[in-house]
């Protein structure tokens, strides 16, 4: 079904979510494969692919006016991928700069305080997770279970567990970014 036909309805229509789901199922592998060739990281490629479709969903009212929807989708995917690579490059430079400064100012007491502060930040981020995501995250990180083991224990599909874990990690990362935890994280892992 052409995207224009699928997306010709508004979000409030009962069938628009189903139509978008069909559209997502049609294009997700192509977009994911394209993003993966740029990013070279499966988890990040999945996140970017989801972001691309979230953007398409938020602008779905405008999609019928776009002449070449395939180009729009893949340009959006390329731009999101390149933005991610720029951010990674910037983060790498920031990490190197931080490492250089921290080596000059090595202080074990301060490191301990930073580690404790970081742990508190992570605990607050985890506390903000839904119950199911918190359980999945803790089984993965604290007990070291893999996706299949978690799925079996919680009686969920491995894909559902994977989605919960991706969402939990994204939430924690965003929480740390919003609360200054990334710099703290970099400082902590520099000395571990």
- 78 shares its domain with 112: no
- 30 shares its domain with 71: yes
User: Rounded to two decimals, what is the model's pTM?
Assistant: 0.45
114-118, 120-124, 130-134, 173-177, range with the lowest pLDDT: 114-118
- Please state, in angstroms and rounded to a whole number, the distance separating the CA atoms of residues 43 and 144: 18
Q: Is there a contact between 63 and 7 (Cβ–Cβ < 8 Å)?
A: yes
Neighbours of 137 (CB within 10 A): 21
* DSSP letter (8 states) at residue 171: H
143 — pLDDT class (breaks 50, 70, 90): confident
The domain total for the chain is 2
* 79 within domain boundaries: yes
CATH number of the domain within which 178 lies: 1.10.10.10
Q: Is the pLDDT of residue 27 over 80?
A: yes
* 64 within domain boundaries: yes
User: By residue range, what is the domain housing residue 14?
Assistant: 3-83
pLDDT at 179: 75
pLDDT at 5: 45
- 119 shares its domain with 181: yes
- For residue 44, what are its two tokens? 């990040």
pLDDT at 12: 41
* 98 within domain boundaries: no
Q: Is the pLDDT of residue 71 over 70?
A: yes
């Amino acid at each position: 079904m052409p995207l224009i036909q699928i997306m010709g309805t508004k979000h409030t229509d009962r069938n628009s979510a189903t139509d978008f789901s069909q559209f997502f199922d049609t294009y997700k592998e192509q977009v994911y494969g394209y993003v993966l060739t740029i990013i070279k990281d499966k988890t990040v490629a999945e996140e970017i692919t989801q972001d691309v479709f979230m953007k398409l969903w938020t602008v779905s009212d405008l999609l019928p006016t776009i002449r070449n929807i395939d180009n729009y989708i893949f340009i959006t995917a390329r731009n999101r991928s390149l933005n991610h690579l720029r951010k990674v490059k910037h983060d790498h430079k920031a990490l190197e700069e931080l490492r250089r400064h921290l080596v000059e100012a090595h202080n074990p007491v301060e490191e301990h305080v930073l580690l404790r502060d970081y742990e508190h930040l992570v605990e607050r981020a985890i506390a903000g997770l839904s119950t199911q995501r918190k359980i999945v995250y803790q089984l993965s990180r604290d007990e070291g279970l893999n996706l299949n083991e978690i799925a079996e224990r919680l009686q969920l599909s491995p894909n559902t567990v994977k989605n919960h874990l991706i969402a939990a990690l994204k939430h924690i990362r965003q929480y740390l970014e919003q609360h200054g935890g990334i710099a703290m994280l970099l400082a902590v892992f520099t000395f571990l």
